[in-house]
């Protein structure tokens, strides 16, 4: 892939949020959702050490390559407003989430910033409410719908227990690609074998998810896998 030309990742969702108070709640909910859905939520800033300039470039790259962007405007964080404006400028589908819990508003200390004030918002009050909203988003996402349609065909005729195992395998397989444009096929297989899956099971799922357009596997000794 040419340098400087990041490619769109169909299952990637950018999340922009204020780090204080809000981040931990999202990471907890997202951790559960990624066990159930084939979507990858990327939150920039988890690693320390980047300069402000580096972080801005990373944010722009992640927004541009994402299929959707979620911005939590709780407290009127200026960085979230900036990120939202960038997503709007590059025309990435987006939504604003906002906590209506009094404690969250008081802790943040400021109302929603004017740049976002007139935009449609998805409101939640508790972690359960946030989880329900994000669960609905995940279930309606285009990549989830394509993934589920593919699995219906791939696992047709399987017994319930085997179907559950193979569905979990399929989700874990997609998540081996999280945050990367492509991964060596051998690395994907190795990671899933380490989680207790047989080589034949992994190869079966790679072949059929590729056949149904959910992932793309190149051919040859240096075969690579990517989200399609």
Which overall architecture, per CATH, does domain 12-140 show?
A: 3-Layer(aba) Sandwich (3.40)
% helix, strand, coil for the chain, step of 5: 50, 15, 35
Max Cα separation, the chain? 58
Cβ neighbourhood burial of 16 (10 Å; 0-12, 13-18, 19+): buried
pLDDT higher than threshold 90 for residue 35: yes
Could you tell me whether strands 94-99 and 40-42 are parallel, antiparallel, or unpaired per DSSP bridges?
Answer: unpaired
> For all residues of the chain together, what is the average pLDDT?
90
pLDDT higher than threshold 80 for residue 48: no
Strand partners, 99: 124
User: 69 and 171 in contact (C-beta within 8 Å)?
Assistant: no
pLDDT higher than threshold 50 for residue 2: no
Q: Give the C-alpha separation, 32 to 131, whole Å.
A: 9
pLDDT digits (tens, 9 = 90+) for 203-216: 999 999 999 999 99
Specify the pLDDT at position 166.
98
Lowest mean pLDDT segment, chosen from 29-43, 65-79, 135-149: 65-79
Helix (H) or strand (E) segment spanning residue 45: none
CATH topology of domain 143-227: Arc Repressor Mutant, subunit A (1.10.10)
Question: If we measure between CA atoms, which residue out of 193, 180, 188 comes closest to residue 206?
Answer: 188
Q: Residue 195: which pLDDT band, with cuts at 50, 70 and 90? A: very high
Residue ranges covered by each domain of the chain: 12-140, 143-227
């Amino acid at each position: 892939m040419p340098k400087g030309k990041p490619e769109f990742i169909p299952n990637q969702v950018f999340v922009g949020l204020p780090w204080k108070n809000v981040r931990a709640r999202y990471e907890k909910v997202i951790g559960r959702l990624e066990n159930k859905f084939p979507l990858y939520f990327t939150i920039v800033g988890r690693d320390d050490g980047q300069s402000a300039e580096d972080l801005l470039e990373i944010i722009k790259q992640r927004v541009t390559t994402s299929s959707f962007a979620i911005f939590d405007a709780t407290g009127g964080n200026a960085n979230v407003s900036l990120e939202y404006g960038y997503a709007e400028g590059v025309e990435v589908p987006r939504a604003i989430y906002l906590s209506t819990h009094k404690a969250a508003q008081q802790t943040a200390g400021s109302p929603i910033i004017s740049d976002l004030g007139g935009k449609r918002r998805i409101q939640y009050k508790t972690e359960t409410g946030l989880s329900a909203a994000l669960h609905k988003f995940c279930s309606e996402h285009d990549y989830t719908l394509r993934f589920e349609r593919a699995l219906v065909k791939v696992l047709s005729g399987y017994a319930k227990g085997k179907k559950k195992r193979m569905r979990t395998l399929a989700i874990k397989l997609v998540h081996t690609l999280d945050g990367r444009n492509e991964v060596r096929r051998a690395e994907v297989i190795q990671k899933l074998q380490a989680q207790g899956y047989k080589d034949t099971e992994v190869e079966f799922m790679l072949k059929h998810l590729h056949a149904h357009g959910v992932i793309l596997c190149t051919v040859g000794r240096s075969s690579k896998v990517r989200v399609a």
